[in-house]
Amino acid sequence: MSANAHGHAESNRLYLMVWGALLFMTIVEVVLAYIQFATGPMLITLMGLSLVKAGLIIAYFMHLKFEVATLFWAMVPMWVLVMVLLFVFFPDSFRALHLRFP
């Protein structure tokens, strides 16, 4: 077996491990959606899992693992944007909830 073939097998194993981690985190997210869990901790958990999943996808499947600056600029501004949008839309969602269920 050549060294090149061995390196290819290791990279396939690594991708399968990353895929397994992504699958596990997705299952956790789905389970959290079905169980009765406090809203605040659930949102923090879901946001954290989503951030980790996005990082794994960008690092391994988009091949930016060794480009730390690019990885940072791909993750952090989008996370800040999502957090700002959540704080913008949360008050309106609570208002709509109280309109529907007095």
* C-alpha distance from residue 64 to each of 11, 41, 52, 95 (Å): 15, 30, 14, 42
Percent of the chain with pLDDT over 90: 22
pLDDT reported for residue 3: 47
Identify the segments of the chain with pLDDT beneath 70.
Answer: 1-10, 100-102
The whole-number pLDDT of residue 55 equals: 87
pLDDT of amino acid 1:
46
Rounded CA gap, 20 and 47, in Å? 19
H helices of the chain, in order, are 3-34, 39-56, 68-100
pLDDT at 9: 57
Long-range contacts of 86-90 (CB under 8 A, 24+ apart): none
Q: What is the pLDDT of residue 10?
A: 61
